[in-house]
Structure 1
């Protein structure tokens, strides 16, 4: 039984790593894989299952931080590279963080109590997919899209505002911010870079706050689950982000939007048609 539950923890870590920064909604995948199939609450307990998800999310956040470590070092002026001076500044990141930070603090309790349900996640998945398709259609008329070093404060603020929209579960932080960046005439890779760089500090702060508030639910016997889940999330987060950044300018957002629509259909059929997981939310 222990080995089976350990495998479940690894699978959940893999799912988190693969989906946290892709524009497909990690929340939607958690519902499909965990709440409807693996049911971590059964072997960890309700509060511990939530804490476990926070821990594996930290694994994917660390993966993104590692990939963009040189950017953070340069923005913090820890190490200056005279041959590679970037125009993206720490102040751009701060401006982008303001809208989501403020709205997250104001509405965090409301979101957790009223929006974390299967129907609301399905709405977020579908609306996010439509927004991504619209962004790709718009990008076809942009002749000279900007790189991430073409970032300015108005663009950073608007992208940050769209990150606040993603507080609606299922909408997807990366899906909304990348799409908004494309609407602001950034190329897909540039919008993705800024999205991931901006996401790390706010996600780390939110996850650290949640973890500190739930440390009492971690027991010694559960430590192996947390470790393997965290490691799996970190490793597959590295793989997912690297592949995504290499392909995004080529494949654009539509394939991910189509995938999201398929996910909506699958979750909708399982939830409304077969009643699987109707105790969720």
Structure 2
């Protein structure tokens, strides 16, 4: 593994970690770094190995969520381990069943339309459109929250099954690459009456089972590409993604109640415009 390979693994892990859970679309950002960097890593050798690497670094990001929400995740099954972000008070209404209800729509929709999504939506044009449409949904959510006489919304421990299911429906929109799962679900949560922070917490908690399950299944299918020569490259990317995802999540959770979604929406629109100019200028 060359020094350049290490740099590529670090940068790709950084991009994955910083964008996977922020409402800015990790897909849009990975398109950029894929074209600029991933193909230049000599150690990867083939598209199959490169795709395996993407799964590995995504697992690093998921591990960061597990660490940040450690106590809250245990509390879903009635075990109080205490002391971390999202700790639930005695009598919490948030249960594992709320998470399951929130996940069901996307699971069903994903299986039903998997071929359509893979065939028609994984294109630069559709990703750019999703970045912009998702931005308007985020702006709408912020606007709606300001129209309720400054009512801050429900907390995470006040979430109902109806709210969980409706947020799950919003998550279905995020199957459109570029829309952003966190952007869709946080916006949906705010529109359903949750505080911005509560909607973000629920989004991250839902991410653990659905992303871990999908990544694990994908990784098992790609085990043949986990050869000894690429494992150091994968480890560097995994650790980089974990560290930067942990930083990103803690930073985002500290900010979301203060700045809401508008700054992220503006950033997405600017990103879409820049990507569009670059893409269509080289066609």
1:278 aligned partner: none
Q: Using the alignment, how far apart are the partners of 2:56 and 2:40 within structure 1?
A: 15
Question: Deviations 1:104-148 (Å, cap 9, x if unpaired)?
Answer: 122223322321111111111110001101111111012331111
5 Å-filtered alignment, 1:193-232, equals 193-232=201-240
For residues 194-240 of structure 1, what are the alpha-carbon distances to aligned partners after superposition, in whole Å with 9 as ceiling and x for unaligned?
A: 11101111011111111111111222111111100000000111000
Calculate the TM-score normalised by the size of structure 1: 0.93
Cα deviation, 1:154-205, whole Å, max 9, x if unaligned, reads: 1000101111110000000000000011111111001000111011110111
Q: Alignment partner of 2:106: what SS?
A: helix
Question: Could you give the per-residue CA deviations for residues 55-86 of structure 1, whole angstroms, max 9, x where no partner exists?
Answer: 10111011011111101111112337796332
In structure 1, the partner of 2:121 is: 115
Give the match for residue 38 of structure 2: 39
Contact kept, 8 Å, 1:41 with 1:48, in 2: the verdict is no
RMSD, aligned CA: 1.6
Question: CA contact under 8 A between 1:41 and 1:49: conserved in structure 2?
Answer: no
Contact 2:63/2:242 (8 A) holds in 1: yes
**For 1:237-258, what per-residue CA distance to the aligned partner results, in whole angstroms no more than 9, with x for missing partners?**
1000001001001001010000
Match of 1:85 among 79, 91, 97: 91
Paired with 2:33 and 2:138, the residues of 1 have a C-alpha distance of 24
Matches within 5 A, 1:169-248: 169-248=177-256
TM-score where L is the length of structure 2? 0.93
What does residue 138 of structure 2 align with?
132
Uncovered stretches (5+) of structure 2, i.e. residues with no partner: 83-87
Q: How many residues align?
A: 274
> Deviation at 1:42?
5.5
